[in-house]
Amino acid sequence: MARSSGPQAVATVFRDGGSAPPPDLPEGVAVTFDLNRLLEERSGDRVRLHEEHMNARLAQVLRTIGFDRDWVSGRGCYLYDAQGREYLDFLSGFGVYALGRSHPVLKKALQDALAADLANLVQMDCGLLPGLLAEAIVARCHPGIRRAFFCNSGTEAVEAAIKFSRRATGRDRIVYCDHAFHGLSTGSLALNGGKEFRSGFGPLLPGCEAVPLGDIDALERQLAAGDVAAFVFEPIQGKGVYEAGTEYWTAAEAACRRHGTLVVADEVQTGLGRTGRLFCHEHWGLRPDVVTVSKALSGGYVPVGAVLTTDAVWKRVFRSMDAALVHSSTFGSNALAMVAGLATLQVIDDEDLVDRARRTGDLFTKALRPLVDRYEMLVDVRGKGLMIGLEFGRPESRSLRLRWDALERVRTAMFSQLVVVPLFDRHRILTQVAADGVNIVKLLPPLVAGEDEVDMFVAALEDVMEEAHKGMGLYMDVGWTMARGLLKRSR
C-alpha cells in the first residue's frame, strides 16, 4: 500500500481556523471558545505544557526515544503528524482503537446523540441507552451472563468486580496471576503482578495472593482454605502476551467451582474481538461468573467500562431495595458512552471484525514464525488474533552475544528498544515494549488491519532484524536517536 504524505492530514484538523457561532446562545453573549483556533494557535506549546503542568518525566522519555511527534489526526490504522507523514499505529491507544481511528459510524452516532440534546444522566431514571447496551453486550457473552454494570474505565471495572465478588461470596481474599495487569487504582493494583507498579503505594488490599499462570497446583493450594472470593485473570496477559492452554483453564475453572470461588475474566484488553473471538475466554471454553470489559467498547471516543455478571452474583450484591445504589458511578451510564458502545458492537458485527482479527492474526503468525528460525535474537512469536508478542533473547553466537550483553548492561531489556525505536523512526510504525524489564514487543493493531498492514510490518521487522544481526549500524542509529533526544532535553 502506498504511504501517503502531504498536507491533507494537517488540513483535517486545522481546516477552517474557525467555525460558525453555536445557535441558541443567549443574546449578547460573546463566543470566545474556538477549538480550531485554539489548536492552531497553541500547537507549538504541546511539549512545554506537559513539561510544566503534566507528566514531565513522560515527556522526557518520549524525547529520548524520539517519539515526540506533533500528532494532528488519525484515520483507520494510521496516524498523521504535522508534517503530513503517515504512521502505522500498532499500539491502537493501548487497544482502544479496535475499529480504527475516526470510524465514520461512530462519528455519526455521536454527532446524532449530541444533536438530539438527550436527557442524559438524569440519575433517578431507567435510561433507554444503558438498557440497550446491557441487552446487546450480555447477548454476546455466554448464556449465564445476564447483567451489566457500567463505569468509566478498565480499572473501575476491576474494582467493581472485586467488590461484587466479595459481597457475593462473603469472602475477602482474591487470587491473581504473576505478571498480571488489572489497572492502577489501589484495588486493582493489589492484583498487579509487577513490583514496579506497586512499590511505594502500599499497603494495598490485604488477602490478595499471586499464583504463576499455568500452575494448577499453586491455584489449588490457594483455593483450598475456602476463603477466596475470586480468581481474577486475563485470558491472555497483556504484559508479555503470556498464555496458558485449555487444559489449565478447564482445571482452574473446575477448581474454582469446587471451592466456591468466583471466576473473573478481565477482558479489558482481550475483549471484543481482539484475540479472534468476541471474548478471549471462549478460546478456553470458559464460563466466567464475572467479565470486565472496557477499551474497545469506547469506539475510541468515550471512556467506558462494563462489568458483566451472572444473575446469581448480581442478586447477592444488589440484594434489596436498600442496596439499589450500593455500587454506582456518576458518569457510568452516560449517553455518549452508551451510544459509543452500541455503535461499536454493531460495527464489530457489520464489518465481521472478530473473524477479520482471527484471519489477519493468522497471516501475521504465518509470516512472523519463520523469522524465529532466521534470526537468532527473535526467540518467540505468540498470541492470538491481533494480540501478538515478539520475544527476543540472548543469542548463541559469540559476536552477537557480545553486542546483546553490552546493550543489556546499559539497561535491562534494552534490545526491545532497539526494535521499537527504528520501527518508529525508520519505518513509521508505532509499537510498544510489552512490559518493564522484558525483551518483548507487543503488537495491538486495530482489528480493521489487513494484508497490507501485515506486509508493511513484516518487511519493516525483517529490515530491523537483518540490521541487528549484521553490524553496528542499527546500534549506532538508535544510540544517535537517543543522544539527540537527551540533547534536546537538556536545552
Select from 92, 169, 222, 294 the one that contacts ligand PLP (CB under 6 A): 294
Instruction: Tell whether residue 334 is a contact of ligand PLP (CB under 6 A).
Output: no
> Identity (one letter) of the amino acid at 199?
S
- Which amino acid does the sequence have at 10? V
Distance of closest approach, residue 155 Cβ to ligand PLP, in angstroms:
3
For position 331 contacting ligand PLP by CB under 6 A, the verdict is: no
Q: Minimum CB separation from ligand PLP for residue 226, in Å?
A: 27
Please, which residue, 91 or 158, has the CB nearer to ligand PLP?
A: 158
Q: Which residue is nearest to ligand PLP (CB)?
A: 154
Sequence-ordered strand ranges (E) for 212-326: 228-233, 262-266, 290-293, 305-310
User: In terms of DSSP bridges, do strands 71-75 and 378-384 run parallel, antiparallel, or are they unpaired?
Assistant: unpaired
Q: Name which position in 73, 155, 333, 431 contacts ligand PLP (CB under 6 A).
A: 155
Burial class (CB in 10 A: 0-12, 13-18, 19+), 350: exposed
- Is there binding between residue 238 and ligand PLP (CB under 6 A)? yes
182 binds ligand PLP (CB under 6 A): yes
Q: What are phi and psi of 163, to 5 degrees?
A: -60, -45
> According to the binding rule CB under 6 A, does residue 86 interact with ligand PLP?
no
Residue 156: closest CA among 261, 263, 262, 303: 303
We find the least distance from the C-beta atom of residue 154 to ligand PLP, in angstroms, to be: 2
Please state the closest distance from residue 374 (CB atom) to ligand PLP, in A: 31
Residue 234 lies near ligand PLP (rule: CB under 6 A): yes
Nearer to ligand PLP, 386 or 460 (CB): 386
Nearer to ligand PLP, 383 or 422 (CB): 383
23, three cell numbers: 445557535
Please report, as residue ranges, which positions from 25 to 84 form the binding site for ligand PLP (by CB under 6 A): none
C-beta closer to ligand PLP: residue 67 or 94: 94
Q: Which stretch binds ligand PLP (CB under 6 A): 9-17, 80-88, 223-231, 264-272?
A: 264-272
- For the bound state, the minimum distance from the C-beta of residue 122 to ligand PLP, rounded and expressed in Å, comes to 26
How many alpha carbons lie under 13 Å from residue 183 in its C-beta half-sphere?
26
Nearest CB to ligand PLP, comparing residues 39 and 184: 184
The verdict on 268 binding ligand PLP (CB under 6 A) reads yes
φ, ψ at 308 (rounded to 5°): -105, 135
Asked if 249 and 203 touch (Cβ cutoff 8 Å), the reply is: no
424: phi then psi, degrees, rounded to nearest 5: -80, -50
> What's the rounded Cα separation, in Å, for the pair 39 and 45?
10
Compute the least distance from the CB of residue 96 to ligand PLP, in Å. Answer: 9
Distance (Å, whole) CA 485 – CA 483: 5
Question: Of 87-126, which residues contact ligand PLP (CB under 6 A)?
Answer: 94
Helix boundaries (H) for 54-127: 56-64, 92-95, 104-115
Out of 87, 90, 164, 181, which residue is the one contacting ligand PLP (CB under 6 A)?
Answer: 181
How far apart CA 249 and CA 284 sit, in angstroms, is 6
Cβ closest to ligand PLP, residue 266 vs residue 376: 266
Q: Is 271 in the site for ligand PLP (CB under 6 A)?
A: no
Q: Is 383 in the site for ligand PLP (CB under 6 A)?
A: no
CA separation for the pair 389, 422 (Å, rounded): 18
Contact partners, residue 75, CB within 8 Å, separation at least 6 = 12, 100, 101, 102
Of the candidate spans 9-17, 126-134, 266-274, 472-480, the one that interacts with ligand PLP by CB under 6 A turns out to be 266-274
End-to-end CA distance of the chain: 39
C-alpha cell at 442: 507487543
Give the count of alpha carbons within 13 A of 130, CB side only: 23
Question: Is 127 among the residues that bind ligand PLP (CB under 6 A)?
Answer: no
Answer yes or no whether residue 147 interacts with ligand PLP by CB under 6 A. no
| CA angle (332, 338, 342) in 5-degree steps | 145
Cα(177)–Cα(182) distance, integer angstroms: 10
Query: Binding residue for ligand PLP (CB under 6 A) from 92, 169, 222, 269?
Result: 269
Minimum CB distance to ligand PLP smaller for 72 or for 264: 264
* Number of chain residues interacting with ligand PLP (CB under 6 A): 14
- Given the DSSP bridges, would you call strands 228-233 and 145-151 parallel, antiparallel or unpaired? unpaired
Determine the residue type at 195. Answer: K
By CB under 6 A, is residue 243 in contact with ligand PLP? no
Q: Which stretch binds ligand PLP (CB under 6 A): 27-35, 82-90, 177-185, 369-377?
A: 177-185
Largest Cα separation within the chain, whole Å, is 78
Minimum distance of ligand PLP from residue 307's CB (angstroms): 12
CB distance 391 to 379 below 8 Å? yes
- With CB under 6 A as the contact rule, the residue among 64, 73, 92, 153 that binds ligand PLP is 153
- What residues line the site for ligand PLP (CB under 6 A)? 94, 153-155, 158, 181-183, 234, 238, 266, 268-269, 294
